[in-house]
Chain A
Amino acid sequence: MDPDEVRAVAERMRSARHLLAARHSSLQGRVLGTSETWRGPDADGFRETWSSAVGPQWTRALERLGQLAETAELDAEEQDAASEPEGGTGHDAAGDGTASVRMLDGDAGDVPLDPEVQAAWREMTPEQKKAVLQEMVDREFERYGMEPVDISFFYEEPDEDGMVTYGSWSNGRGELRMNEYMLYSPDLALTTVHEVRHAAQHEFVEQTEGGMWDWLPWVDGPEADYERIEEEHGITREEIEAWRENSEPGNYISPEDDYEGYRAQPVEVDAREREDEFAGDLTLEDLQQYQRDAGVPVSEEP
């Protein structure tokens, strides 16, 4: 492998990504712009298909191009390191403790929100959106039998590569953070279930840790906890064990370090699968119920 050539390929990928992003934006403008001149069920269907199917796939393709470019650059770096004479870094793909983490489906997280839900989201004020997000978080924690936490909102602009943090969950602090910068995007609603899922992953890993009194005949051991969690939440022992391994110190891959690896690790794939489930199920009526529960006026009854 010629690392410089690989880097050049990565650079071309980034250029292609920028070009595709521009074309995507341009085409999207034309599609959405047809609302002034093309009306009716067919027109609505056309635009909905764009918003719910074509547009998100395009966005996904842009993400993939960015990931591939990043992977290529990492490979080039590793090649450089491997080619160094004695005394080099000695770093290899498994050297950071991440290689043992099982990689799963990287495509999870593709299911778009219903166009009606997206439109209703855009109708709300930032204040109302925050209230609805909190309601979604509360409901999601209840789903796992956990105590809800208040969302901590922060503000963070995208980086120069166009990557942005929607939200995060801190196991240590028990803090769920969401980025106010993204309030304009209906996708922020998916961040609620994503981050609460991380909280639940941590909870279930903790619940199945062995305890010092497990040997006592009247104390349930981890086996019973695994069974209970699977029965109550449909989460298998294998899944929890994968999360446990993923959560070991040094095993969680941050998006800044390796975006593709970040997306492919078990806890992230699982959280995006929950996003998909939520996005696929969420109807306008569901959103309106969240709005009512949050004390937000519902502009249009179903």
Chain B
Amino acid sequence: MSRRRFLGLAGVGSALALLGACDGTEEGTGMDPDTTHAAGACQEGAVAARTDPGGSDGGGASRTGVDPSVVAPGALAVSPDGTQLAAAAATGTTLWSTAGGSVSARFENALTGALAWHPGGSLLAVGGSEHIELTTPEGEVRWTLTGHGEPLPDSGRRRLQDLAFSADGELLASLGADGTVRLWRGIGEAGCTPGEVLDTTALRPLSIALSPDGRTLAVCGAEGAPQLWDVEESTLSSEVDGVEFAPRAVAYASDGTLLIGSGIPDTSTAGSPERARLYALGTDGTLERGPDPEGLDVSSIAVDPEGTRIAVVGRSERRVMIWDRGTGDREDLPDAPGSLGRLAWSPDGTTLHGVSPSHGVVSIDGTAWTAFDLP
């Protein structure tokens, strides 16, 4: 494994303007001074229109049909106590009991964007096309967060891409299909305050992660080095140098190590194929290259609660690689029954869950994959 120094770029730029307001609305500008982002709002109840922002660009003759996927590949969250799991079916958010794999609730909200469970267990953040609903596990929409805009052109993304709560549960970071990251502060019974808008559009971002201490937000995308933002100041504090190929997924381990997965470059050919990459950025700034995962593009990284076992899967791949950072060993799990999207460990670290568009929610306890009831 090679080791590279992480080149800190403290003070590379300022984030965005952002003033907290008590009336629940906020506006900020991006790093580009000409950029203006819509005001965010945190409103009580289910208030956002659940409409499609627009169809595909069409153009020529196309083959269009009903998406036959069982669950959306980008939405998966496990409750903090590990008893429940949430994913997104065609009808919307669905909850399962992890004990028996049976469906315990269907919200029928038609929202299929990213999901995140509040560390307190009492709220589930559910992503839609442009808005987020903070919902109780019983399905009551307590707050609706609006502000994200229409998808970036030609991105193919149509819904909230990623959501992350801070460990204390007071902050929610959301990555929209519009390419921006929004911070929502003071999350609690009284709602929340729309915070800063981090203009990360130039990065074409795909994934975000909050550090365990909640002070750093990692953002990665296909068009640049992974960025590390100071959450308190809402400023871009540094970029991670040394990651080969386009970064596509980030995740923090409990010790503050940042895992970064990348995809292959366009120059890769059948005759000269490249593989995806996995890196670990230590808190001392050292960038270590891990084993190369299966597949062309890393789509999901899940770190177990101990911070040692790193599960990585490539986009539309069935094979999950487990990298044990303690021993340095690499293990490939048995192939899942279908291609996988997002991964998540159970809080006790004994089970790895995944979502498969063709097979629904699947889990492995180290020996064999089992499928939950379909939604």
Interface of A toward B, CB cutoff 8 Å: 18-19, 21-22, 25-26, 28-30, 32-33, 59, 62-63, 66, 122, 125-127, 129, 131, 154-173, 175, 180-185, 187, 190-191, 194-195, 198, 252, 254-256, 259, 262, 267-268, 271, 295
Q: How far is the CA of A171 from the CA of B157 in the complex (A)?
A: 26
Is B63 a contact of A21 with CB atoms below 8 Å?
no
> How near does chain B come to A289, taking the closest CB pair, in angstroms?
19
Q: How far is the CA of A109 from the CA of B359 in the complex (A)?
A: 23
> Which one of B52, B55, B65, B339 contacts A166 once the chains associate, using CB atoms below 8 Å?
B65
B33 cross-chain contacts in A, Cβ below 8 A: none
> Which one of B65, B157, B316, B337 contacts A157 once the chains associate, using CB atoms below 8 Å?
B157
Asked if B108 is at the interface (CB within 8 A of a chain A CB), the reply is: yes
B309 cross-chain contacts in A, Cβ below 8 A: none
Known: A28-B70, A126-B295, A159-B158. A168 touches B63 (CB 8 A): yes
Q: How far is the CA of A175 from the CA of B61 in the complex (A)?
A: 11
> Which one of A59, A155, A172, A183 contacts B66 once the chains associate, using CB atoms below 8 Å?
A59
A-contact bits for B208-252, CB 8 A (1 contact / 0 none)? 000000000000000000000000000000000000000000000
Is A165 a contact of B66 with CB atoms below 8 Å?
no
Is A22 a contact of B106 with CB atoms below 8 Å?
yes
Known: A32-B371, A184-B358. A162 touches B61 (CB 8 A): no
Is B373 a contact of A26 with CB atoms below 8 Å?
yes
Known: A33-B371, A158-B67. A267 touches B61 (CB 8 A): yes
**Total A-B Cβ pairs within 8 A:** 178
Asked if B159 is at the interface (CB within 8 A of a chain A CB), the reply is: yes
> How near does chain B come to A188, taking the closest CB pair, in angstroms?
9
Given pairs A25-B90, A156-B56, 20 additional interface contacts (CB within 8 A): A25-B89, A25-B374, A26-B373, A32-B359, A122-B337, A154-B156, A156-B156, A159-B55, A160-B52, A162-B66, A165-B56, A165-B63, A172-B60, A175-B60, A185-B68, A255-B62, A255-B64, A256-B58, A267-B61, A268-B61
Give me 20 A-to-B residue pairs in the complex whose CB atoms sit less than 8 angstroms apart, sorted by A's number.
A22-B106, A29-B371, A30-B374, A32-B374, A125-B317, A154-B156, A155-B156, A156-B56, A160-B112, A160-B129, A164-B64, A165-B62, A166-B64, A167-B63, A170-B60, A182-B67, A183-B339, A185-B358, A190-B63, A295-B270
Known: A18-B90, A21-B90, A157-B158. A167 touches B62 (CB 8 A): yes
Residue of A nearest to B64 (CB): A255
Is A256 a contact of B55 with CB atoms below 8 Å?
yes
> How near does chain B come to A179, taking the closest CB pair, in angstroms?
8
B179 cross-chain contacts in A, Cβ below 8 A: none
A126 cross-chain contacts in B, Cβ below 8 A: 295-296, 314-317, 339
B338 cross-chain contacts in A, Cβ below 8 A: 122, 184
Residue of B nearest to A168 (CB): B62
Interface of B toward A, CB cutoff 8 Å: 50-52, 54-56, 58-70, 89-91, 103, 106, 108, 110, 112, 128-129, 156-159, 270, 273, 294-296, 314-319, 337-339, 356-360, 371-375
Is B157 a contact of A161 with CB atoms below 8 Å?
no
A180 cross-chain contacts in B, Cβ below 8 A: 315-316
A165 cross-chain contacts in B, Cβ below 8 A: 56, 62-64
Is A169 a contact of B61 with CB atoms below 8 Å?
yes
A62 cross-chain contacts in B, Cβ below 8 A: 66
Is B61 a contact of A168 with CB atoms below 8 Å?
yes
Sort A-B residue pairs by CB-CB distance and give the 4 closest, nearest first. A29-B374, A256-B55, A170-B60, A168-B62
Q: How far is the CA of A174 from the CA of B373 in the complex (A)?
A: 44
> How near does chain B come to A223, taking the closest CB pair, in angstroms?
27
Q: How far is the CA of A254 from the CA of B317 in the complex (A)?
A: 32
B129 cross-chain contacts in A, Cβ below 8 A: 160
Is A198 a contact of B60 with CB atoms below 8 Å?
yes
Q: How far is the CA of A64 from the CA of B137 in the complex (A)?
A: 33
Is A30 a contact of B63 with CB atoms below 8 Å?
no
Residue of A nearest to B128 (CB): A160
B318 cross-chain contacts in A, Cβ below 8 A: 122, 125
Residue of A nearest to B339 (CB): A184
Known: A18-B108, A22-B90, A156-B156. A163 touches B60 (CB 8 A): no
Q: How far is the CA of A126 from the CA of B275 in the complex (A)?
A: 13
> How near does chain B come to A259, taking the closest CB pair, in angstroms?
8
